[in-house]
Every structure is written in C-alpha cells, then in structure tokens.
Amino acid sequence: MNLDIAVNVLSDKETQLTVKVPVQTIQERVEARIRQTAKTARVDGFRKGKVPVSYIRAQYGAGIQQEVINDTIRDTVFDAIGEKKVRAVGVPSIDDVKLENDFLVYQATVETFPEVKIQGLSEIEVERQTATVSDADVDTMIENLQKQRQTFEIKEGELTDGDEATFDFEGSINGEKFEGGTAENYRLVIGSGRMIPGFEDGMKGMKAGEERTIQVTFPEDYQAENLKGKEADFKITVKEVKEPKLPELNEEFFELFGVKEGGLDKLKADVRKNMEREIKNAARNQIKQVTFDALVEKNEFDVPKAMLAQEVERQRNLMLQRFAQQFGANPNTFDKSMLPDELFEDQALRAVRLGVLVSQIVDNEKLVVDQDRVTAFIAEAAENYEDPAEVIEYYTNDKKERAGIEAVVLEDQVVEFILSKAKVTEKEVKYQDLLATAQQVQI
C-alpha cells in the first residue's frame, strides 16, 4: 500500500508520524466489506444472501466505513513505523483522524528507544575478584557431600551442636500459653538456627528424659506482631538424642557421584573440576555486576514510560512465578495488586537503563556475537550433564535457546569493552566468599 509519511521528532523519547492513506483504498475496502456483508447478513424480509447491496450500504455503510478506517490504521501504522525506521517502544497513540483531500490522514505518536551518549567509561573503577580452589576447599566440599547424606544414631550423652533432638515444648508469656508455642515430638538439629535466638543454646547439655525451662526473647522483627520483643518461657522435655554419623568414603559413596573407578582421588578430581567451573562463573558474574553497576551510575537518563511499564510487569510476573513454584499453585491465582508497581520501579529502571546502554555500546562499537565463544560456552555447560553431546546438539540447533546464550556472550563482550577503558584492580578472595558474592548478583 502506498503511504505518504511525514516524521516529526518531538523529543529524544517521542516521535510523531503523520500518515496519509489514499481514500480510494478505503473506498475499495468499504465496498468489498459491504458486498461480503450482503451475502451473510440476516435481515427480516430478505432471504440470506439475497439482501440488496444498496440496503446494506444505506443501513450499515457508516459503521462499516468506520470499521474499515480502524482496521486500515491498525494495518498501516506499524508499516509506517518500519518504513521510517523509527525505533518505537510500546503501542502507538492514534489521534487527529480525518478525511482530507482524497486521503485518510492520522497521526501516530510513539515513544522511541532512547539514543544515549555513553559517558564516563575511563572514570569507571572496578575490582575484579579472583579465587583458587585449594586442597582444603576440596576436602570441605567432600565433607559437605557427606553431611548431606548423614544419618543419626541414638546417643546416650548430652546435646551438642550437630545433634538431633526429639522433644516436646510448651511456651508461655507471663504464665499464659500463646498460639504456636506448643509442639510434641518436634525434631531439631542443634545449631541449625531454625528456632529463635537462645532456644537452641538453651537446650545444649540436655539428655534424653530430661526436662528444662528456658527463657528466651522474641526478636523485634518477629513475624507475629503479638510476640515481637516479648520474653517467653519454654518448658522442654527431651525424648531422644541422636548424633550424626557421616557415610564412609567407600565405593558405595563414590558411586553416588558417578565414580566407579579411581576411588577418592577420582572423586576429588571431579569435585575440584566442578568447583573450578563454579569459580569461573562466579568471577564472571561478579565482574559483570560491578561493571554494569558502574556503567549505570555514570549514565543516568530518562527512559520511556512504556519500557519501564513493560519491565515492571516482567519482574512482577517473575515474582508471581516464584510464588507459584514455592506454593505449588497457578500464577494466575495470585492477585497482582499485592505486588504494586512501586515494589519494582527502582530495579526496573536500572534494568531498562542498562539494556539501553548495552545496546548503544553494541551499536557504537559494531560488536557482533563471537560464535566460537558461543560454542565454547555451550560445551562447558554441557559438561554438567550425563550426555554432553545431546545437550550440545540441543543448544546448537534450537534457535531460541541458542539466541539466549548468544545474548549472554554478547553481554560478556560488552563487559570486556568497558573494562578495556576502565581502571581495574584485582583482589584474591576465598572460594566461599566469591561464591557468596555471585549468589547476590542481579544483572
């Protein structure tokens, strides 16, 4: 369709297009729809398919013309945006629709993807954290694997950290019992931190069959309003004490982790390899986080409302999905009003600004995805699976999944470009500290 399009840039965030569509096109569509309606309309006094076109035109022509105009605007507005290469964001706002000099004329106002001038790259200062996996780290990890599969055996002695107690308790405040303060045959590993401060420490030294009353104070931020900051007495009766028993480092244990030959040395080698992979990913995420934080801090700008609204909605839906997974429910059953926009606006604003900045750097530097790095990324990820070849084939051939990995690799290339301009220092940290930092990362 031949369109006459005029572009008026209202600001760096908004563009207005004036679109002219030949009236002849509208008339042809109106006549075609009138004829089609005459074939299908049910009108008293006429058989179906025998309603005169003139009758339909007289009775319904104005309404049909308005429908055609609406459909034509819908069909042409995105063609106009594409033809003029306007980087539109959100849905266009249509106004000032009129018939003028053999044309249907309308105006479409759209928010546009902002173009920004990247600033302050040479002023960015970031700290790159590094870590190495020591023999002690590997031993600790294997011990953790043992603890994950530990069992408990009856113990005759006193309760200490790591022991499991089965007990009854009855809580009271000023001699009055309170809701949720009583339980029977409750099981607790001492030192797990599941109870309020002071509770588990107060049980230490008790034996099976012993009774004791302990005094504790509920935290000021406790979830139950009526218990915040209150002092309480808990009468505790220990019924059973068990101590942990770690599984032996034998062939049966090794086979749990796919080690059929090589024994403990092979298990340690596999564990070290996995830990080094974790360290590599953690370090990559840490430097990406601090680099992007610094980039956003140096480049503040207004963002289109549509982009911000879309990101707020995306983050809200992600949180609803997490709620649904946690409670085993359908995300649609949650009331979105319990998660107001204000809850997400700061994080969404950062995400939108970062997306714009990354896109601008890609355009400015003409960065393209390094396909060799994509292949290496897929191969490394596949090592975690039983059949790496199958995983590699899946991510290589599935366009959507591969595109996701390409986006990650391109982000890494953007980070490397920023770091080439920035001031970078390195700091050696402990394995666990780097992992903890990575777990807090939100890109």
Place of tokens 């059953």: 333
Q: Classify residue 226 as exposed, middle or buried by CB count within 10 Å of its CB (0-12, 13-18, 19+).
A: exposed
Residue 234: name the closest of 217, 218, 213, 219 by CA. 213
Q: How high is the pLDDT of residue 443?
A: 46
User: pTM, whole model, 2 decimals?
Assistant: 0.72
Q: How high is the pLDDT of residue 426?
A: 95
Tens-of-pLDDT digits for all 443 residues of the chain?
688 899 999 887 889 999 999 988 888 888 888 888 888 777 777 777 777 888 888 888 889 889 999 999 998 999 999 888 998 888 899 998 988 888 999 999 999 888 889 999 999 999 999 999 999 999 999 999 999 999 999 999 999 999 999 999 999 999 999 998 999 999 999 999 999 999 999 999 999 999 999 999 999 999 888 999 999 999 999 999 999 999 999 999 999 998 999 999 999 999 999 999 999 999 999 999 999 999 999 999 888 888 899 999 999 988 888 888 877 777 777 777 788 899 999 999 999 999 999 999 999 999 999 999 999 999 988 887 878 899 999 988 899 999 999 999 999 999 999 999 999 999 999 998 998 886 665 54
